[in-house]
Structure 1
Amino acid sequence: MGISSRFYPNLYKDSVSLMTVSARVTSIPGIEAASVVMASATNVDNLAQAGLGTFEIRPNDLVVAVAGSEEACDEALAVADKLLSTAPADGGDTAAAAPTTSLQMAVAKDPALNLALISVPGDYAAAEAMKALRLGLDVMVFSDNVSVQAELALKLYAREADLMVMGPDCGTSIVNGIPLGFANVVRRGPIGVVGASGTGTQEVTVRIHQNGSGVSQALGTGGHDLADSIGGISMLHGLAALDGDPATKVIVLVSKPPSAAVAAKVLAAARASAKPVVVIFLGADPATITGDGVYGAAYLAQAADMAVALARGEQLSSGDIAISPDMQRTLSDLADSMASSQRHVRGIFSGGTFCFEAQLVHRSHGITARSNTPVAGNAGLADIRTSLENTIIDMGDDEFTQGRPHPMIDPSGKDARIRDEIADPATAVVLFDVVLGYGSADDPTAELISIIDVAGAAARAEGRTVAFIGYVCGTDLDPQDRAAAVAGLQSVGVLIASSNAEAALWSATLIAARGGQR
């Protein structure tokens, strides 16, 4: 295997564009690994750790690094050249307008601007975000690798200026109906969301849309906001903003478990709100949250269902996830048809919150699992490349994405892991998510459907029946065809659930029937 690379001096592309180019390059036959990044200190270090070579730090330059056969590397660099080239604008006989090269120039050209989206290498993101704040702009920081100290400084400044910082590492927001980052297309409506988790916010907004309601705003905070070190500054600001928004009738707060002190602060603010607030702190007992106009939810889908009911003035249901008699029979038949070796679940997720929620559902049914991002009571994996017993992993976590695109953009690595799990004689259930929307792959199920079809048949030829359970997070308005994705997966025997929690419940039920609780 050879390694090839190329620098592009003084060429900037945002993070999503770079990951998209990287995904295209990685898909070339014969390419083992590829990365398309700005040559910042952090990215140069990541390239070295990924085995793609050592490079000098040239922050204004873009670098493409590929590994594979010589012919594939040559083709990959040619493809990258084409994708990264920019044709000059057709200006006719008029002189080209001067490019906007700074936030200050942008605001000078259009003083009505009020939001900056920062998507530069993390080494520089905090400085750009602070420039935006000083210009009076709210900020969404898509970039990660921003220090806690820098995040706190940004958010303290924003709080004093009555501005909001969404992020750092904010992957999902919907502002005035416009999806930002990895986000789904949902109708406008009376429910506002403040989310400290990207895919958690995506499922809540998608479910609201599917229930016939809509979203006023969905404001991301970044995953560190509810830690003691930050204190929930952005979630508190978002809650206050939605409380004062005439278009918002119900508010939903979404997070993995916050610190106890920050949770108490956020819940106190929620109880002081003039509007009903649904809170989903994944893993927290809803009974400890509910009261004084605040409604605790156990799962993401339940939070969305409760918000829709409140917005319509309807009575809240228990929210418990139930298995229909038909599905119970299906799961029982699958369990009975399996070989004696098949006892374990292999959950392969692109969404970190989906992975977290799936572990919680399994634990609530007495099933522990190993993970690269374990919940309390679950064990870690010594080697993230190898599953042991019950394993539920987040392939969107940093340790999987260094040197390669996120699996929402390029699902090939996730698909390959699913193929390996199907071939394991211990696998009873392959549990997975498919996330649609802006930023995600144009056709995230094409290769997956083929893998399930071929590998599933090979397992059956060996006397094994593997159960495939999936959840497709998306709406009928997304750029991808959700109905076609669901139909394609069902055509190869995948059981498609209506929510991530329901998919996990089906899996836990089947694993319990197989005696794989360990």
Structure 2
Amino acid sequence: MTTVVTVLRDTYLDSVVQLSGTRAMRAVEGVEWATAAMATEANLATLTENGFDPAGWDGAGAGDLVLAVRADDEQVAAAAEDAGRAAMFSARGDGPGTREESDPRTLAEALDRQPGSTVAVISVPGDYAPLETTKALAGGLHVLLFSDNVSVEDEVALKQRAVEQGLLVMGPGAGTAMLDRTCLGFANVVGDPATRTGSVAVVAAAGTGAQEAASLLDRAGVGVRHVIGLGGRDLTAAVGGPMGRLAVRSLAADPETDAILLVSKPPDPEVARGVLAEAGDTPLVAALIGLDGSDDDDPPTVTRSSTLEGGVLAMLRRMGHPAPNTTAGLRDQVTAAVRDLPEQRRLVRGLFSGGTLCYEALVLLERELGPVHSNTPLDERYGLPAPAGAHVCLDLGEEEFTKGRPHPMIDPEARIEHLRATGEDRDVGVVLLDVVLGHGSHPNPASELAPLCAEIIGRGGPRIVVYVLGTDQDPQGFERQRAAFAEAGCIVTWTAARAALAAAAIAVRDPKIVERPL
């Protein structure tokens, strides 16, 4: 086995571009492990943990790009590095360590050359994110702050400044946004509101929750013009909801916004009240995952739901729009799936790429099955490691699974490893998968995952329930992805919530569960 490390000095690439290089290198036959990453202390520590010699990056700093490959031999390692470079630099039209004359090196230069800009997308290591965000705000720009590892104190300070200027700071850790149908980060392509009913804006402290809500609305024929990500902490007591309030207030004043859908994991109750109050006379549905019941202080224009599907259906009712049948044929599919399932196969394993979808599944599964263990548990008692015989849902997008490797939305390798191992477990009755389409995601996830699903099901392994999150306009092909999983023998559902209920129904052999009202 050969390990090779190459440092490309003074070469900064966005994290999404780095991930494309990592994926290209790992796709080369004979490569055991590879990564393309900026030479931050954390990333270099990951390389050391993976057996690379620190001498290979002596003197490298956060502005340098590191390519690291462990492969069968030097020839394979060289081929992997070539593949990584091609993936990362071909679209730029330049090479490492060089820049075209027209490529600005600072935010100020970029604004000089493109003075009409209104939004800055910031994706730098967390230590540098507050300074870059401050510069963007000083330039009068809204900010999509993709970076994570930003302290709560810095988040509060940045958002206070933004509110004073009437600007949005979407993040930190905001992976998705859509402003006037312009996609930023991981985002799904929605149809033109002019061809659909009404115009809804989604405000979300939950990345894949925002994508799920926007996609379901679009597939139901409702126009979605804006998706504003807040960052997962915005509605907590520590941050206080400044962006939530500003976003809802701004959208309520927008004559082109007919209604607002707010998506969040359970927020601080007082913070939520403050955000909901900003809607004024504009209809607002709050899909607060896992938070049951209404609040007596809610304005009459506000409707609450505890699931994403429930929130979307409530929005459709508010708009007088017909709702899709989200359970059509599902009960029969579950009945067929459990017919020959061995009695000992009773456990659920969720292998998620979307954190919000994992959290919603935990809420629904625990209502039907009792405790479900997770790396993002609902209750501190039900974390990991899980005891023998426990139901488990994993968010494979969390840091412990993505350290040194691409996010599972971009590269399904990590899920393939877990899926293969889970398929061998004789106590597992059903595997629950989400597949997220759209800009930034893997170009054809079914091509990687569906064959393994077919193999597992074909040899009498656990049943597999798949939810494909996307729209008809997404580049991967929504119906094509769904069809591939269906042909592999998977149960393919219309919403993430129904996928969780289908998994619960298989585990307890009660097909009626899939028709639970939400």
TM-score by length of 1: 0.90
Give secondary structure in 2 for the equivalent of 1:286: coil
Distance change (3 Å), C-alpha of 1:219 and 1:118 = same
In 2, the alpha carbon distance for the partners of 1:57 and 1:150 equals 27
Matched, 1:138 2:142: yes
Give secondary structure in 2 for the equivalent of 1:242: helix
Pick the aligned partner of 2:291 from 267, 271, 284: 284
Give secondary structure in 2 for the equivalent of 1:428: strand
Task: Give the aligned CA root-mean-square deviation in angstroms.
Answer: 2.5
Letter in 1 for 2:281: A
Give secondary structure in 1 for the equivalent of 2:232: coil
Partner of 1:231: 240
Partner of 2:188: 184
Contact kept, 8 Å, 1:421 with 1:427, in 2: the verdict is yes
Contact kept, 8 Å, 2:333 with 2:491, in 1: the verdict is no
Give secondary structure in 2 for the equivalent of 1:3: strand
Pick the aligned partner of 2:478 from 479, 482, 485: 482
Contact kept, 8 Å, 1:422 with 1:455, in 2: the verdict is yes
Partner of 2:211: 202
The Cα of 1:183 is off from its aligned counterpart by: 0.5
In 1, the alpha carbon distance for the partners of 2:173 and 2:258 equals 28
In 2, the alpha carbon distance for the partners of 1:369 and 1:244 equals 42
The Cα of 1:287 is off from its aligned counterpart by: 2.6
In 1, the alpha carbon distance for the partners of 2:214 and 2:233 equals 21
Contact kept, 8 Å, 1:41 with 1:57, in 2: the verdict is no
Mapping 1:428-439, distance limit 5 Å: 428-439=429-440
Distance change (3 Å), C-alpha of 1:201 and 1:12 = same
Question: 208-217 or 46-55: which moved more?
Answer: 46-55
Partner of 2:196: none
Contact kept, 8 Å, 2:457 with 2:464, in 1: the verdict is no
Partner of 2:507: 511
Give secondary structure in 1 for the equivalent of 2:6: strand
Pick the aligned partner of 1:75 from 59, 75, 79: 79
The Cα of 1:336 is off from its aligned counterpart by: 3.5
Partner of 2:306: 298
Pick the aligned partner of 2:382 from 379, 383, 404: 379
The Cα of 1:52 is off from its aligned counterpart by: 4.3
- Structure 1, unmatched stretches of 5+, are 91-95
Question: 38-47 or 211-220: which moved more?
Answer: 38-47
In 1, the alpha carbon distance for the partners of 2:444 and 2:485 equals 12
Letter in 1 for 2:182: I
Once the two structures are superposed, residues 291-312 of structure 1 have per-residue CA deviations (whole angstroms, 9 ceiling, x without a partner) of 521000121122122223323x
Give secondary structure in 2 for the equivalent of 1:214: strand
Once the two structures are superposed, residues 465-492 of structure 1 have per-residue CA deviations (whole angstroms, 9 ceiling, x without a partner) of x221111001110111111111111111
Pick the aligned partner of 2:331 from 315, 328, 333: 328
Give secondary structure in 1 for the equivalent of 2:445: coil
Distance change (3 Å), C-alpha of 1:388 and 1:222 = farther
Distance change (3 Å), C-alpha of 1:45 and 1:148 = farther
Matched, 1:359 2:362: yes
Contact kept, 8 Å, 1:122 with 1:143, in 2: the verdict is yes
Matched, 1:343 2:346: yes
Matched, 1:101 2:105: yes
Letter in 1 for 2:440: G
The Cα of 1:499 is off from its aligned counterpart by: 0.2
In 2, the alpha carbon distance for the partners of 1:366 and 1:89 equals 54
Matched, 1:454 2:463: no
The Cα of 1:130 is off from its aligned counterpart by: 0.7
% identical equivalent positions: 35
Distance change (3 Å), C-alpha of 1:436 and 1:278 = same
Distance change (3 Å), C-alpha of 1:97 and 1:31 = closer
The Cα of 1:514 is off from its aligned counterpart by: 7.9
Question: 332-341 or 360-369: which moved more?
Answer: 332-341
Partner of 1:39: 39
Mapping 1:144-159, distance limit 5 Å: 144-159=148-163
Question: 171-180 or 361-370: which moved more?
Answer: 361-370
Contact kept, 8 Å, 2:20 with 2:87, in 1: the verdict is no
Give secondary structure in 1 for the equivalent of 2:373: coil
In 2, the alpha carbon distance for the partners of 1:114 and 1:135 equals 9
In 2, the alpha carbon distance for the partners of 1:82 and 1:322 equals 43
Give secondary structure in 1 for the equivalent of 2:406: coil
Letter in 1 for 2:311: A
Partner of 1:265: 274
Matched, 1:274 2:278: no
In 2, the alpha carbon distance for the partners of 1:208 and 1:179 equals 16
In 2, the alpha carbon distance for the partners of 1:53 and 1:286 equals 56
In 1, the alpha carbon distance for the partners of 2:379 and 2:117 equals 43
Partner of 1:445: 446
Contact kept, 8 Å, 1:370 with 1:388, in 2: the verdict is no
The Cα of 1:86 is off from its aligned counterpart by: 5.3
Letter in 2 for 1:181: G
Give secondary structure in 2 for the equivalent of 1:504: helix
In 1, the alpha carbon distance for the partners of 2:159 and 2:388 equals 39
The Cα of 1:137 is off from its aligned counterpart by: 0.6
- Residues paired across the two proteins, number: 497
In 1, the alpha carbon distance for the partners of 2:157 and 2:50 equals 32
Letter in 2 for 1:334: A
Once the two structures are superposed, residues 276-295 of structure 1 have per-residue CA deviations (whole angstroms, 9 ceiling, x without a partner) of 11001111013337652100
In 1, the alpha carbon distance for the partners of 2:299 and 2:503 equals 32
Distance change (3 Å), C-alpha of 1:89 and 1:498 = closer
In 2, the alpha carbon distance for the partners of 1:260 and 1:513 equals 37
Distance change (3 Å), C-alpha of 1:2 and 1:258 = farther
The Cα of 1:323 is off from its aligned counterpart by: 4.8
Partner of 1:401: 402
Once the two structures are superposed, residues 308-329 of structure 1 have per-residue CA deviations (whole angstroms, 9 ceiling, x without a partner) of 3323x459x8x9x9755x5334
Distance change (3 Å), C-alpha of 1:280 and 1:51 = farther
